[in-house]
Amino acid sequence: MSAQSPITSAMDHAAVTAIRVLSMDAVQKANSGHPGTPVALAPVTYAIWNRFLRYDPLQPLWPDRDRYVLSCGHASMLLYSMIHLACVRNMDHDGRVLDEVSLPLDQIKQFRQIDSRTPGHPEYRHTAGVETTTGPLGNGAGNSVGMAIAGKWLASRYNKPGFDLFTYRVYAQVSDGCLMEGVASEAASLAGHLKLDNLVWVYDNNHITIEGETSLAFSENVGARFEAYGWHVLHINDANCLEAISQCFADAAQTKGKPTLVVLNSRIAWGVPGKENHHSAHGEPLGATAIEGAKANYGVDPKSQFSVPPEAYEAFRLGMAAKGALESAKWAATFSSYAKSYPELAKELELMNSHKLPEKWDAALTAFPWGEFDDPKNPGKKKVAAVASRDAGGKVINALAKNIPWMLGGSADLAPSTKTRLTFEGAGDFEAGTYGGRNLHFGIREHAMGAILNGIALCNLLPYGSGFLIFSDYGRGALRLGSLMNIPAMYVFTHDSIGVGEDGPTHQPIEQLASLRAIPGMLVLRPADANEVSEAYRAALLHNHSPSCIILTRQELTTFDRTECAPATGLHKGAYVLLDAQGGKPDVILIGTGSEVELCVSAKKVLDAKGIQTRVVSMPSWELFESYCGNNPAYRESVLPNAIRARVAVEMGSPFGWERYTGLDGSILGMRSFGASGPFKGLLKKFGFTLENLVELATSQVAGKNPISR
């Protein structure tokens, strides 16, 4: 520390030792976990937290706090030790600070136990002081890029002369494993391109993974790679030297126009006799003998357990806590003055940080017209109103984003196809040096896009990302983590079926809808026409406690006549009776999503003419339907009466899961192969998505037969 610091070297030693001891003891007691990395990284992590991180333990959600991300989440005891020693306050699920610490010593002792606040990998919202859920390697690194992007955007919009509301930096610790994963490489490439100089990654170059030496599979020059990305690269050769570490971070803080990578040469389980650089320390307890030897080496009673000297707490009280309290109080005072000078912007920030939408946020949405219109291409002829749901989505997202200033996003290089570019005046592009734009360009980096969206959402902005539905697989890890964290990142996936035609099975999504629906908490919406698209976006934005996926078509869909059909607001119940049988007594129920609802409507006309009373149910969201019926069980019966067993579900995707709505005796018209390359209309015939086939399936159902579902 500097000469002015009240923290002595003895306090530094006590704190670093406490981090190591707590980590070793917790893993040993649980007989599970990764002790080596926390032991080795204790000095550098202590330096980040207690010398550089602007963080107030009493106000864990202070908006301009620096962010710390442990991307190598298997080293979770490292983070838990820091939260414990810093006495970070606990919070409830609404973000209110409680009069208790997040991780008392009893919670450290419950590491990896059921219902403890110290799970095997850090979990956002589960443990106060954890900024993001990490563990799957590389995703935390991607999150940190999103946080840095959010910081730049917030500063560009809200900082004013004399009012620097957003100046925070993001520190992420990454491992060899993180940097082998493609998601971290994608994110690092974009961060360098965007010149995010508020971002620092600390690379733990310890040469060890689960299988042994990294040389088995990893021999590149990481520093040179990051220099090629456009990063500022620094090196620390002694992972135990606090002064060398501190000088390195001071250098990083002065770097402009580049993110910084700090290459830390460490040995796993550094300082544990017999365990240095031994791969067994990576994923299993050190053992009582090694721990006793380490404690003796540190000057700690070898037989003590979970022993924390007062000097360790005092170091954090005099360091992080004292500085953080001053900084957060200064920010609060600045914001109070700011609110008087810029009341509208201050109101935006208050709404944003309380996860609320502005008044009249959806006022610009208007109903899409239906009916017949003069066809400009064929004078004298009429044309039925029809629009591809991706085109409708483009209009809707612009109408919404214009009234929600903190809604921003982009595409994995597909915005012209997904129609997600914001085109209203002032929308602009988020680019290096001009960080106020609301159109993000992720490049062809689907996984990083998802991880970055999660990081942006963790900063209380409303981000969206888009791409083709088939490529949702490339970003699935981030999709799952976003759902695990219950954060409202929004995804717009287009080209939703074999409707992509000649592109063939490599681009025709089959199992993707089923796989997205399988993610707990994920909201999947597949609207059937333009007006359902509007409601889908409304539902996604109102559903602010988890991610959402809006699934849209490339091909045109007829806009249903809502004077004959039920209102599109039925979407918010997940499923609704679009067109009913005479007297509300159907012989058969056709259930469709997306583009297939139109086929069901056409089949109803034929079936009705044959004397088969038919109900058409539009079911854009299984999740909303199950949620609504959970609170309103009679609604399920009103839409899908238990007595009506003749049912056909229609979706150009895997039939997996549809049995819950058709019953075992119902038919499912779905895809049981990967599709084929050819004109769209030919594919519909090949795979049975024709009026004739649907009518035949429905007729057979009414006759009590159970034809083989396609």
Q: For residue 232, what are its two tokens?
A: 């500022």
Angstrom distance (rounded) from CA 37 to CA 403: 46
Cβ(651)–Cβ(593) under 8 Å? yes
Cβ(616)–Cβ(694) under 8 Å? no
Q: Please give the angle made by the CA atoms of 274, 276 and 282, to the nearest 5 degrees.
A: 105
Cβ(531)–Cβ(368) under 8 Å? yes
What is the DSSP secondary structure assignment for residue 163, as one 8-state letter?
B
Angstrom distance (rounded) from CA 14 to CA 300: 10
Cβ(184)–Cβ(251) under 8 Å? no
Cβ(555)–Cβ(595) under 8 Å? yes
Helix (H) / strand (E) element for 10: namely helix 9-30
Residues 6+ apart with CB under 8 A from 330: none
Cβ burial of 703 (10 Å; 0-12, 13-18, 19+) is exposed
Q: Is 607 strand, coil or helix? A: helix
Whether 446 is catalytic is: yes
Angstrom distance (rounded) from CA 273 to CA 284: 15
Measured in degrees and rounded to the nearest 5, phi and psi for residue 112 equal 65, 20
Can you tell me which residue has the tokens 């501190």?
246
Cβ(350)–Cβ(460) under 8 Å? no
Cβ(16)–Cβ(42) under 8 Å? yes
State which amino acid sits at residue 474.
Answer: Y
Quickly list DSSP for 100-114: EESS-HHHHTTTT-T
Residues 6+ apart with CB under 8 A from 344: none
Q: Is 263 strand, coil or helix? A: strand
Cβ(662)–Cβ(649) under 8 Å? yes
Angstrom distance (rounded) from CA 574 to CA 630: 12
Q: Please give the angle made by the CA atoms of 503, 507 and 510, to the nearest 5 degrees.
A: 125
Cβ(67)–Cβ(168) under 8 Å? yes
Can you tell me which residue has the tokens 């992007």?
149
| Sheet with 614-618, edge to edge strand ranges | 576-579, 614-618, 588-592, 647-650, 667-669
To the nearest 10 degrees (0 to 180), the angle between helices 36-47 and 76-85 is 40
Strands (E), 313-461: 372-374, 382-384, 386-388, 407-411, 439-441
Cβ burial of 126 (10 Å; 0-12, 13-18, 19+) is middle
Other C-beta atoms within 10 Å of 536: how many? 32
Closest CA to 178 of 166, 170, 186: 186
Q: Output the CA torsion 473→479→483→488 (10° steps).
A: -130
Angstrom distance (rounded) from CA 571 to CA 523: 12
Q: Is 3 strand, coil or helix? A: coil
- From the candidates 123, 186, 446, 532, give the one annotated as an active-site residue: 446
Can you tell me which residue has the tokens 């990654």?
201
State which amino acid sits at residue 103.
Answer: L
Q: Is 362 strand, coil or helix? A: coil
Cβ burial of 165 (10 Å; 0-12, 13-18, 19+) is buried
Catalytic residues: 446
